[in-house]
Amino acid sequence: MSRCGLLLAAGRSTRFGAENKLLTPFRGQPLAAHAAEAMATVPLDHRLAVVADPAVAALFGGFEVLTVNDPDAPQSASLALGARRAVELGATRLLVALADMPLVDAKLMGAVLDRGTDNAASAATDGTRAMPPACFSGPLIEALTKLSGDRGAASLLANLPPDRLVAAPPSALVDIDTAADLKQASASAD
């Protein structure tokens, strides 16, 4: 069994404004550093980060950094790139997390990883839908390599049975897309 972690950090931040949201300060450090620190403590054999900005890449010490060269590439391109590398590494489980979800901690990532198996996916849930972090098994990792469009792996998670979902408070699963999201997350983190 080989466990691989993948942090997606190649977004364009178009809804956030002119600056790269992943480098924006949150709780005293760049936003993406929170996800990197959380994944660094999860028991994994390999850690990958897909980035587009060299300044973001610098946040992922200890990770193998993969670079997306097309700034307009859809989210699925980042996911497929990371999944292809995971396949090359022989991963039987792939834990996928988003670098713009700074309140997802190592405990939740670990619980999602443990809820999955080498034959079944798992994901976090806010009580209404399956969402990242998510863990994909060997056969589904291969499916990730073929995704296209901006929806990522949502279709692969849509019908997970309840026993494959890890409940988390909605506040822990906040995805920072706008400056208002960041302000709200900062207020709830205090």
Q: Tens digits of per-residue pLDDT, 90-125?
A: 999 999 999 999 999 999 999 999 999 888 899 999
Helix %, strand %, coil % for the chain, to 5? Answer: 35, 20, 40
pLDDT of residue 151 exceeding 80: no
Please give the tally of structural domains in the chain: 1
| pLDDT (average), residues 155-171 | 91
Q: Cα dihedral sign for 181, 156, 110, 94? A: negative
Other Cβ atoms within 10 Å of 160 Cβ, number: 19
pLDDT at 18: 60
Per-residue burial over 91-109, b if 16 or more Cβ lie within 10 Å, else e, is bbbbbbbbbbbbbbbeebb
The enclosing domain of 179 has a CATH number of: 3.90.550.10
pLDDT of residue 185 exceeding 80: no
pTM: predicted TM-score of the whole model, two decimal places: 0.93
* Orientation angle between helical segments 106-115 and 31-40, nearest 10 degrees: 50
Q: Tens digits of per-residue pLDDT, 30-76?
A: 999 999 999 999 999 999 999 999 999 999 999 999 999 876 777 78
Share of the chain above pLDDT 70, in %: 93
| pLDDT (average), residues 138-155 | 82
Domain range holding 171?
3-189
pLDDT at 19: 75
Share of the chain above pLDDT 90, in %: 66
Q: What are phi and psi of 18, to 5 degrees?
A: -70, -30
pLDDT at 16: 63
Q: Closest Cα partner for 11 from 62, 68, 59, 61? A: 68
